[in-house]
Amino acid sequence: MKFSAQEDIEAPIDDVFAMVADFERFERMALRRGADVRRVADRGPVAAGTVWETKFNIRGKPREVTIEMTERDDPALMEFQANGKGMVGITKVDLLALSRNRTRLTLSMSLSAKTLPAKLLLQSMKLGQSRIRRQFQSRLSDFAREIEDRYRHRT
């Protein structure tokens, strides 16, 4: 199952990348929402090979997912692979400078199942695919507006 969404942001690509790559902020947001997030190697900058171990509840069941940054090319690309019980997800963040002060953010995600229970979960998600796509686009739009607001307040 694949999802993709894009948004144009009124900010330079370097500033957008810096905000998208603010991993400490995302870790704090996840903790506030009840997830347990731990960066495995807590030293140095986040680069390809950085791993996070996460624990959270989905549909009332505890889940453990390991997320690894598999690729990073500042300021244009970040890619992550998430491995959970029976499921693999790949998330790609692409940035494209449209002009000096305008950046296109494209977020794509693909999920695949390795076990029967994971295949059943994925199949149930496919039934609500249009709703999930709308939520995915809506959350990316909200995030893009937040980046624009943060950029305006910094300058």
Which residue bears the tokens 């505890």? Answer: 62
Q: Which residues pair with 91 in a beta bridge?
A: 80, 109
The pLDDT, as a whole number, for residue 60 is 84
Report the CATH number at residue 92: 3.30.530.20
The pLDDT, as a whole number, for residue 155 is 65
Number of domains within the chain = 1
**Whole-angstrom distance, CA of residue 85 vs CA of residue 65:** 7
| pLDDT averages per 10-residue partition of the chain, 155 residues | 96 97 93 93 86 90 94 97 96 98 98 93 90 95 96 86
Domain coverage including residue 48 = 2-154
**Whole-angstrom distance, CA of residue 78 vs CA of residue 69:** 7
